[in-house]
Amino acid sequence: MNSRDGFLPDEVIIQVLARLPVKSLFRAKTVCKLWYKLSSDKYFVQLYNEVATKNSMVLVEVSDSPELKSSLICADNLRGVSELSLDFLKDRVKVRASCNGLLCCSSIPDKGVYYVCNPMTREFRLLPRSRERPVTRFYPDGEATLVGLGCNLSAQKFNVVLAGYHRTFGHRPDGTFICMVFDSDTNKWRKFVSFQDDRFTLMNRNQVVFVHGSLHWLTSGCSYILSLDLNCDVWRKISLPDEVIYRAGNRAHLLELDGCLSVIQISEAWMKIWAMKDYESEQWHLEDRVSLRCIRGMVPGIFPISQTREYVFLATYKQVLVYQRKSRVWKEMYSVKNSSPLPLWFSAHAFRTSIFLCN
């Protein structure tokens, strides 16, 4: 594109706009016709989302009590801390999963009602109820054991997964693992049944990772990673690094790093960052080894939430911390002012902004 008298070339302007926060970008649409059309231009949307993937953030639900609506705190390494609202859903909801700028939320008062929304653009889709047995047949507590959201930015489509062990009223789960998958293109649910004996901690359920067209969860006891291929509805078990499996006294957490599966291993003195370099052959590589000496008192209650090659976000009971990998400096990004009924890591999700039209 050529420059006009006194103006920057359009390509330079587009590169600048691609680095704006989504809210600022949508406000800038009123400046001129070119800027107004950008949010629907395929080239710009792809460019914007490619830039945004390099800036991983943390989204935390904070509430003074379970009965009150929670507020969403967004910790951004570049822009600091801001507050988001899901009031446009006009419902009291809980964030169940996050992927590429979208959130999957479940209604608290109305079981079985799910939304997928973009909190930055305030667009959302109310998912249709499935004709199958309601989620209340799942175990435990009337909710799906696993909730996953997979968002393909290049195809502008998403999938929601609800999976859990079915049980008849008054009986224990019979090993039947029911999986419901919602497809945004067809606006329909599909169902398939398998037999699993996997168990998951509360933290494992929150840290679901979408890479290579599959959703991934770390099983309880750090035995292996359970993945679901959304293209063919097939479950797969993925091995972990031997050191993670066999080293006693360690905790492991599943994250994403530059489009790859990543495991962060935490011991009393060290934080080790592993990345899967070859997805098919399941080859892991040790990326970094970080001393935890300067935050020794926090180690038992610290949980990594999201990361890039430049920094790692971690949550404690009342704080969100960021570790800068190049300078090896720790910094507090956010702290709860009042007492919270739940620790921050319990409701923390990896997050990044994106342009995605949900409706």
Measure the CA–CA gap between 182 and 189, rounded to whole angstroms.
4
Least confident range of 1-5, 16-20, 25-29: 1-5
Average pLDDT value for residue range 78-94: 91
Q: What's the pTM value of the predicted model, to 2 decimals?
A: 0.87
Q: What is the pLDDT of residue 202?
A: 66
pLDDT at residue 358, as a whole number: 67
For residues 347-357, average pLDDT: 87
Structure tokens at 20: 């704006």
The whole-angstrom separation of Cα 356 and Cα 115 is 15
For residue 146, which phi and psi values (nearest 5 degrees)?
A: -120, 135
Judged by DSSP in three states, 38 sits in: helix
Q: What is the mean pLDDT of residues 41-70?
A: 79
What pLDDT is stored for residue 139 in this prediction? 45
- Between CA 63 and CA 340 the distance in angstroms is 7
The pLDDT of residue 3 is 44
